[in-house]
Amino acid sequence: MATHEVTFPVNDPAEILKLRAGDEVVVQGHVIGIRDRTQIRIFDQGVEPPLDLTGAFLLHTAPNVRKIGPGRYEKLCIGTTTSARMVRFTEGLGAQYGVRAICGKGGFPDEAIEPMQRLGMVYFAIVGGAAALETTQIEEIEEVAWEELMPECLWKFRVKDFGPLTVGIDAHGGSLYRDVQERALKKLEDIYARL
Amino acid sequence: VTTVVNDLDAAVEGAAAHLYVWALKDIPRDLRDALADARGRETSVTGQRVLQTILRNVDVAEQERNLVCQDTGIAVYYCRVGEHFPLHPARIYGALKAGTERATVEHPLRSNTVHTLTRENTGPNVGFRVPIVHLDFVPDSDGLDVKCVPKGSGSENMSFLKMCVPADGVTGIKKFVLESVVGAGGKPCPPGIVGVGIGGSADYAMHLAKEAIARPVGTRNADPLVAELGGAVRAPERDRDRPDGPRRRRHRPLRPRRARGHAHDAEPGGRELPVLGRPPCVRPRLRDRFGHVREGRVRRGRPNGATFTVPGTVSVTSACQGVHS
C-alpha cells in the first residue's frame, strides 16, 4: 500500500489513476464541502453551482461554523457525514461537472464502482467522527455559496496536510467496501455454523 | 413561583447546557482505554491507521478545547427525579430545553434539528419534543440526577429491531446481532459499540439497547445468564498489567464499574438507572476543568454522578417474546 500526496483541484487524470484502493493519501489545496441539500439543488432542482467543480475534491460535510461578517465564516468544528445517502449524484458530478474525488465516511455502495471507473474518479475514506483533527487541517473557509441552506451550503476550504485518507474506491474498479463486506459475510457463515 | 423554584429552574438549565457541551468534548476514560487497547491488538495497517487517527482526534479535541465531532446530535437527557424534588417534571423539561438552546447559541453548536417532512431547521437544537427527555422517579429522595447522551444520526441510522420467535431461540438473537453489525459495516463512525436490548415491547427493547450502550466498556450484565451471551468479550487491559508497564497520565483511569441495576437485570438493585454511578472522582475533575461544578449537577440527595456517552455507537436491538431476561 503506497502513500501519496495529491493537490486539488487536479488537472492531470494520471494523478487519480495512480491511486489504488487501500492506499494512504494526504491532500493539499482546495476542498469543496457539499451535502444532501446542496446536491438536491444542483441535480433535482437544476440550479447551476456557483463554484467551479472541475477536477475538484468534494467533502461530504455540514460544518460547525461561526459567522464573522457578510459571507464570512470562521471554522469551529468541521467533520464528515455518511456518504452512502448521496451515492446517486456520483455519475452527474463526474460527467457534468468533472469532479475527480469524493470524500466522506462509511463508503459508497457497489453501484458507485462502475461510474467511478468510467469517469476516472476516486472515493476517499476519512475517519468518521475525527472532526477536531480535520478542523486543524483546514486553514480557512475561503468561500460560501447558498448560505440559506446552512449548514448544507456549498463551502470552499483551503486545506493543509488533509488526512490521512484511505482510497476506498479507485478508478480501476477496486473497492475496499466490497472486499471487506465479502470477507465479513464469509466469516459470518463460519460463525453461524458454530452457533 | 418561589425563589427556590426560580433558582432550581436556572440550575437545571445550567446543568443541561453544561452537560451537553461536556459530553461533546470529553471522551470518557473507559473509552480512551478501550481505544488504546484496541490499537495495541489491531493487526491490519488500515485498522491501525484508523485507530491512531481516532486517538489523535481525542487528544486534539482536548488540547484545542474543541468538540470531538462537528455533529452535535440531538440532546437526550436521562433524569432521575426524587419524589421530594421541588421542581415539577414539566418545569424540568422546560429548563432542559432552555439549557440545550443556550448551549447551542452560546458555544455555538451546529443546529441539527429539522422538521421531519420539510427539512427546515426548527431552532437551536430544539423542536417538537426535542430535546428528548427520559424521566425516572426515585422514592425517598429530594435530588435530581441528569445524564446527557447526545445522539448523532450517523450511528442512530444503524439501529435495528427484530421481533424474534421462540422457535429460533437464543441462536436467533445472536444471528440477528451479528447480521446487524455486518450490515452496518463502516457507516457508523468508529469505534462501533454495540448495545443489545432483549425483551419487552418494541420500544422498550430499543430503550434497553440504548441503556446498554451507555454502560462503561467492558462491563457485563449483572445476570450471569445474560452476561454469558456476550461470550468472551475482552475487557480493556488494566493499566498495571500492561507488558510495558503503566502508562503515564494525569489522572488515574476510571476503572469501569459493573453497571448496576439495569432495567433488564434479574434483580434491579436499589432502583438505580444504569451507569448513572460514576466514581466520585468525576467531581473534582469537573470542577478543575470548568470551574462551575454546581451548574453541572443539581443534587440535594445522595451523591451520584452524571455521565455521558458519545456519538458513534451502534444500537442493535432484538425484541424477543418469550426470551425475557
Q: What is the mean pLDDT of each run of 10 residues along chain B (325 residues)?
A: 80 94 91 92 91 95 93 93 93 96 94 89 93 95 90 90 90 92 90 89 90 85 86 54 54 39 32 31 32 34 28 36 23
User: Which of A3, A64, A190 is the mutation pick for testing B, counting most B CBs within 10 A?
Assistant: A64
> What is the pTM assigned to this prediction?
0.79
ipTM score of the complex? 0.88
How far does B215 lie from chain A, in Å, by closest CA?
20
Residues of chain B numbered 158-197 and touching chain A (CB < 8 Å): 171, 174-175, 178-179, 182, 185-190
Chain B, residues 272-291, CB within 8 A of chain A, namely none
Q: Using DSSP, state whether B301 is helix, strand or coil.
A: coil
Q: Touching check for A133 and chain B: CB below 8 Å?
A: yes
- For chain B, strand residue ranges (E) read 76-82, 132-138, 144-148, 160-164, 194-198, 314-320
User: Of B183, B179, B181, nearest to B164 (Cα)?
Assistant: B179
pLDDT tens-digit series, residues B251-306 = 444 433 333 333 333 233 333 333 333 332 223 233 333 333 333 334 332 222 23
Share of chain A above pLDDT 90, in %: 98
Q: Comparing C-alpha atoms, which of B81, B28, B18 is closest to residue B309? A: B28
Per residue in A109-158, pLDDT (tens digit) is 999 999 999 999 999 999 999 999 999 999 999 999 999 999 999 999 99
Hey, where are the domains in chain A? 3-194
A98 pLDDT exceeds 80?
Answer: yes
Q: CB of A127 within 8 A of CB of B50? A: yes
Find cell 486517538 and name the residue: B55
pLDDT in tens, A23-63: 999 999 999 999 999 999 999 999 999 999 999 999 999 99
Exposed / middle / buried, residue A27 (Cβ in 10 Å: 0-12, 13-18, 19+): buried
Test mutation, A77, A137, A191, chain B, max B CBs within 10 A: A77
Q: Which of A37, A66, A77 sits opposite B66 (nearest CB)?
A: A77
Class of domain A3-194: alpha beta
Residue showing cell 451471551: B229
